[in-house]
Chains A and B, each alone.
Chain A
Amino acid sequence: MNKRLLCHLVGNVVRVCGALMILPIIVSLIKRSGDTLPLLLSMLIALAVGTALALVQPRRDTLRAREGFAIVAFSWIIVSFLGGLPFFFSGHIPSLVDCFFETVSGFTTTGATILTDVEALPKGLLFWRSFTHWAGGMGVLVLSLALIPKMGARSIHLMRAESPGPSTDKLVPRVANNAKILYEIYVALSLFMVAALLFCGLDWYDSLTHMFGAAGTGGFGTYGDSIAHFNSAAVDIVVGIFMALFGVNFSIYYYLIHRNWRAAFGNSELRWYWIILLGVSAVVAVNIMPLYNGSFFTALRYSFFQASSIMTTTGYATADFDLWPQLSRVLLVMLMFIGASAGSTGGGIKVIRLQLLVKSMVRDIRRTVHPKSVNTVKLDGHTVDEGILSGVQGFFFAYILILLSAMVIVSLDGFSFETNFTAVLATLSNIGPGLGMVGPTGNFSAFSDLSKIVLSLCMLIGRLEVFPILMLFSPSAWKK
């Protein structure tokens, strides 16, 4: 392990993160919300820590897969800790564990909160809390790659460790240009969404903060009752559709811009994504019709928003889906597992992995019938590498294993099975709200510190797709 390079690059990422705190400071000055000082203090600390780490000059600049994983994992942990300092300094969240939980939840775009009264927080802090979603959505390292011109030829390992999906394919030859293209698409979509929200009558502050939440597929709002606060069909539709758009693989938008229609529409993950999303929306709409006086379209408004919010792992709510019929609740939990597309800002297992798992299962069945048959798993006409296939199976197993073990620890607190299960699933899949006590109207404040740390780890494991965090605990990665 090249520890000097690790320090150097993590320092650079921390500096970028510290520099980003200038935005909430500006907001707090405009809004005169009185939280400038804690934000400024945190920014200075982050810049100082970042600079100190970046001063370590690497002797060699060999960056292999393991360094890439470790840099990503450490960056996320340190950035989450430093990003939580404003809450601590302002005194609004007195416990450091709670601050860490809240910021991890922000950067990993989970949206799970320990705050019982969100609206009590000053505007600057709320802006920062939402902004962590936006920064974490596309990835803090990808952002650093786009901003810092030379991270070396091997920075692909950083991008691979941070980008969600079974394999990271480049759009253009250079990693830095890839990062730039992704962020350009991200910024453009975000601006469209802000414009749409402003058009719906929201003020600039609400538009921005809710865009951050939706774009990163995070789910932090600035009101206790989430999107339901606006009680507007237009806002529901805008946010619902944009969440779904941010859950699409960003490569698709690149292909669309370059008029490569075949690559864009021939993508089977995109097809499956929309079929699942719209299918579940329709079934849930029929299921909850009685709750909305038998009106299918009113029911569809709520069901599509919720399906989109859960599948993209955002976690915004326009209705308390915990009170919906069992079928709808179960379908939503299924969506929590599936998650969004690879290469999007969403979390979960990802549609493409589900596709590959189903296809390799079908292959195994075929093999039982014809033991000597030779089959390959194909996706969009290309044979999938066996290495990727076994990687996906390993990922799925690790995901379930972590889900179960975290549940065992969390159950020490003595809450119901439904609460424990969905709390772990909602954090591991980076959604936010689950069912029961952690439902859309509840929060995570009642858990013990141990559970909160375990759940924070779940969020990081989910966002970084298991292996970067697990690798930190592998002794052989650190041996000389």
Chain B
Amino acid sequence: MNIIIVGNGKVGYTLAQYLSKDGHDITILDRNQQALNRASETLDVMCVRGNGANVKTLIEAGAEQTDVIIAVTGNDELNMVCCLAAKQLGAKYSIARIRDPEYTESLTLLQKKLDIDQVINPERTTAQEISRLLRFPFAINIESFAHGRVEMVEFRTEDRDAVLNTPLSRLHSRYPRIQFTAVQRNGSAFIPDGASVLLPGDRVYATGDRESVTQFFKHLGKDTQRLKSALLIGGGHISYYLAKIIAGMGVYLRLIEIDEKKCLRLADQLDGVMVINADGTDQEVLDSENVGDCGALICLTNRDEENLITGLYGARHGVKKVIVKVNRMNAMDVMDDLGIDSAVSPKLTTANAILRSVRALNNSRNSVVEKVYGMLGGQVEAYEFTALEGAPYLNIPLNQLNIRKGILVSVLVRERKCIIPFGSDRIEAGDTVILTAKAGTVVNLEDAFDITEIRR
């Protein structure tokens, strides 16, 4: 596809890098020559200098024939105008980053009037990610599929867990409503089969419907108790959205922000949140707020270093769940070594969200990609497809389908019911199929099966 990316910041650059590798033709638009030089030196993309809202520049970048326009400049209004102008010129799909909370309330109207197909709000998406993590405090990552009916929860196995040292085929009979979809051991990820065994210290993805997943973790003895209190450091957009989301969860929430004006505004906008005007990175302040007794410590200031150090301080004082925001993406890998499991990056979240929807745009013959989710550092991907009428793999028992190696048909969702498939189950038209596979091996549902075998 032809894709235009407006704004070559961290998000724009990351998107260009991945989408170009995926085989798309990328044109980057930016006002800053230095930013463009960096892209043209290291990526196989075309660069055009100019204002993305300028029709002449957009035409020069080929907006008339482009399939997708992605506006990710630092300016919400500019992003909206870019999408509007490109759509008018003939772009087929538009994605805009809009982050100001002022706009989020009127978003549906704006989206309709400005003809923007998708809006990405990095801060809100990040807040949602954090709120999911707070629901299962022991989880490293949580992703939902099929409109929230299926949940994929990543957790770390500990010594004496009940699931260890047993082949998965036996575990299946014990937990028939849970599928183990991916495992990471010593840094490398694999997709388990019936003979695989879980060892202590593995990062494992357990998948199933909400109820069963909760049951499963209860059975494991993991702490599924509701979070009672949380401490937020930093009062930016993410904190605002997060406070709104978890306000209904009955959590005692304290928010520490250094800027008095921001504090006043937050106190005005948010109900049921204790806003504290202090330096959240000051250990004195943390101690006086009894950081060790908090259910969760969430560090969301603008500085990676302060978030990290505060997070480490909290972890050392016994906080069970520490979530840290990082902007620099190469810092994500270091996190694991430091003992902080959960790190969120709004930039990476944005890039991933856009990447997923662009990949999902690559629609194929007999299936529709609803979602692509990268897990375990992007080594494994989970795909959500809808199987359409007329596909060759319909109504054939899975054990006769010749599923390709390294691909797992994880979950089927039929008539709102979640099915963990066994060899005798069949894919029917209209089913939601969730696959897990090594990254980059599957583009559409047919790729998972050896079709020539079926036709015979």
| Residue A188 CB within 8 A of the other chain | no
A153 contacts B20, CB within 8 Å?
yes
| Residue B43 CB within 8 A of the other chain | yes
User: Assuming the A-B contacts A154-B41, A156-B40, are A173 and B33 also in contact, with contact meaning beta carbons closer than 8 angstroms in the complex?
Assistant: no
A173 contacts B42, CB within 8 Å?
no
| Residue B44 CB within 8 A of the other chain | yes
A172 contacts B33, CB within 8 Å?
no
Given A154, A155, A157, A170, which contacts B46 in the complex, CB threshold below 8 Å?
A170
User: Assuming the A-B contacts A153-B20, A385-B33, are A172 and B43 also in contact, with contact meaning beta carbons closer than 8 angstroms in the complex?
Assistant: no
A156 contacts B44, CB within 8 Å?
yes
User: Assuming the A-B contacts A153-B20, A385-B33, are A173 and B25 also in contact, with contact meaning beta carbons closer than 8 angstroms in the complex?
Assistant: yes
User: Could you tell me the distance between the alpha carbons of A39 and B46 in the complex, rounded to whole angstroms?
Assistant: 41
22 contacts between A and B (CB under 8 A): A64-B41, A65-B41, A153-B20, A153-B43, A154-B44, A155-B44, A156-B40, A156-B44, A157-B41, A170-B46, A170-B47, A171-B46, A172-B25, A173-B2, A173-B25, A173-B26, A173-B45, A173-B46, A174-B25, A174-B44, A177-B25, A385-B33
Chain A contacts to B: CB under 8 angstroms? 64-65, 153-157, 170-175, 177, 385
Specify which chain A residues have a CB less than 8 angstroms from the CB of B27 in the assembled complex: 173
Specify which chain B residues have a CB less than 8 angstroms from the CB of A171 in the assembled complex: 46
User: Could you tell me the distance between the alpha carbons of A64 and B38 in the complex, rounded to whole angstroms?
Assistant: 12
Closest to A263 in B: B60
User: Could you tell me the distance between the alpha carbons of A173 and B20 in the complex, rounded to whole angstroms?
Assistant: 9
A153 contacts B42, CB within 8 Å?
yes
Number of A-B contacts (CB under 8 A): 32
The interface centre, meaning the residue of B2, B25, B41, B44 with most chain A CB atoms within 10 A of its CB, is: B44
User: Could you tell me the distance between the alpha carbons of A170 and B49 in the complex, rounded to whole angstroms?
Assistant: 13
Closest to B24 in A: A173
Specify which chain B residues have a CB less than 8 angstroms from the CB of A174 in the assembled complex: 25, 44
Whole-angstrom distance between the Cβ of B209 and the nearest chain A Cβ: 42
The interface centre, meaning the residue of A65, A156, A171 with most chain B CB atoms within 10 A of its CB, is: A156
Specify which chain A residues have a CB less than 8 angstroms from the CB of B46 in the assembled complex: 170-173
User: Could you tell me the distance between the alpha carbons of A156 and B20 in the complex, rounded to whole angstroms?
Assistant: 14
User: Could you tell me the distance between the alpha carbons of A64 and B20 in the complex, rounded to whole angstroms?
Assistant: 19
Mark B78-121 against chain A: 1 for CB-CB distance below 8 A, else 0.
00000000000000000000000000000000000000000000
User: Could you tell me the distance between the alpha carbons of A155 and B42 in the complex, rounded to whole angstroms?
Assistant: 9
The interface centre, meaning the residue of B20, B33, B42 with most chain A CB atoms within 10 A of its CB, is: B42
The interface centre, meaning the residue of A65, A154, A155, A171 with most chain B CB atoms within 10 A of its CB, is: A154
Specify which chain B residues have a CB less than 8 angstroms from the CB of A65 in the assembled complex: 41
Mark B15-56 against chain A: 1 for CB-CB distance below 8 A, else 0.
000001000011100000100000011111111000000000
The interface centre, meaning the residue of A153, A155, A177 with most chain B CB atoms within 10 A of its CB, is: A153
Whole-angstrom distance between the Cβ of B358 and the nearest chain A Cβ: 15
Q: Which 10 residue pairs across A and B have the least CB separation, nearest first?
A: A153-B44, A173-B25, A173-B46, A170-B46, A173-B45, A173-B26, A174-B44, A175-B44, A173-B27, A153-B43
Q: How large is the interface on B (under 10, 10 to 19, 20 to 34, 35 or more residues)?
A: 10 to 19
Closest to B27 in A: A173
Chain B contacts to A: CB under 8 angstroms? 2, 20, 25-27, 33, 40-47
Given contacts A153-B20, A156-B44, 16 further A-B contacts (CB under 8 A): A153-B43, A154-B42, A154-B44, A155-B44, A156-B40, A170-B47, A171-B46, A173-B2, A173-B20, A173-B25, A173-B27, A173-B46, A174-B25, A175-B44, A177-B25, A385-B33
User: Could you tell me the distance between the alpha carbons of A173 and B26 in the complex, rounded to whole angstroms?
Assistant: 6
User: Could you tell me the distance between the alpha carbons of A279 and B27 in the complex, rounded to whole angstroms?
Assistant: 40
Closest to B3 in A: A173
Whole-angstrom distance between the Cβ of A65 and the nearest chain B Cβ: 7
User: Could you tell me the distance between the alpha carbons of A17 and B199 in the complex, rounded to whole angstroms?
Assistant: 56
Specify which chain A residues have a CB less than 8 angstroms from the CB of B26 in the assembled complex: 173
Specify which chain A residues have a CB less than 8 angstroms from the CB of B43 in the assembled complex: 153
Specify which chain A residues have a CB less than 8 angstroms from the CB of B2 in the assembled complex: 173
Specify which chain B residues have a CB less than 8 angstroms from the CB of A385 in the assembled complex: 33
User: Could you tell me the distance between the alpha carbons of A157 and B43 in the complex, rounded to whole angstroms?
Assistant: 11
Whole-angstrom distance between the Cβ of B303 and the nearest chain A Cβ: 31
Whole-angstrom distance between the Cβ of B28 and the nearest chain A Cβ: 9
User: Could you tell me the distance between the alpha carbons of A65 and B37 in the complex, rounded to whole angstroms?
Assistant: 12
Closest to B50 in A: A382
Closest to A152 in B: B44
Whole-angstrom distance between the Cβ of A362 and the nearest chain B Cβ: 24
Specify which chain A residues have a CB less than 8 angstroms from the CB of B44 in the assembled complex: 153-156, 173-175
Specify which chain A residues have a CB less than 8 angstroms from the CB of B33 in the assembled complex: 385
Whole-angstrom distance between the Cβ of B109 and the nearest chain A Cβ: 35
Specify which chain B residues have a CB less than 8 angstroms from the CB of A157 in the assembled complex: 41
User: Could you tell me the distance between the alpha carbons of A173 and B27 in the complex, rounded to whole angstroms?
Assistant: 6
Specify which chain A residues have a CB less than 8 angstroms from the CB of B41 in the assembled complex: 64-65, 154, 156-157
The interface centre, meaning the residue of A64, A157, A172, A173 with most chain B CB atoms within 10 A of its CB, is: A173
Specify which chain B residues have a CB less than 8 angstroms from the CB of A170 in the assembled complex: 46-47
Specify which chain A residues have a CB less than 8 angstroms from the CB of B45 in the assembled complex: 173
Closest to A381 in B: B56
Whole-angstrom distance between the Cβ of A263 and the nearest chain B Cβ: 8
User: Could you tell me the distance between the alpha carbons of A177 and B43 in the complex, rounded to whole angstroms?
Assistant: 14
Whole-angstrom distance between the Cβ of B5 and the nearest chain A Cβ: 11
User: Could you tell me the distance between the alpha carbons of A177 and B26 in the complex, rounded to whole angstroms?
Assistant: 12
Whole-angstrom distance between the Cβ of A161 and the nearest chain B Cβ: 13
Closest to B40 in A: A156
Whole-angstrom distance between the Cβ of A209 and the nearest chain B Cβ: 37
The interface centre, meaning the residue of A64, A174, A175 with most chain B CB atoms within 10 A of its CB, is: A174
Whole-angstrom distance between the Cβ of A440 and the nearest chain B Cβ: 43
Whole-angstrom distance between the Cβ of B345 and the nearest chain A Cβ: 24
Whole-angstrom distance between the Cβ of A79 and the nearest chain B Cβ: 25
Closest to B17 in A: A153
Whole-angstrom distance between the Cβ of B359 and the nearest chain A Cβ: 18
User: Could you tell me the distance between the alpha carbons of A155 and B41 in the complex, rounded to whole angstroms?
Assistant: 9
Whole-angstrom distance between the Cβ of A238 and the nearest chain B Cβ: 36
User: Could you tell me the distance between the alpha carbons of A154 and B41 in the complex, rounded to whole angstroms?
Assistant: 7
User: Could you tell me the distance between the alpha carbons of A52 and B2 in the complex, rounded to whole angstroms?
Assistant: 39
Specify which chain A residues have a CB less than 8 angstroms from the CB of B47 in the assembled complex: 170
Whole-angstrom distance between the Cβ of B31 and the nearest chain A Cβ: 12
Whole-angstrom distance between the Cβ of B227 and the nearest chain A Cβ: 45
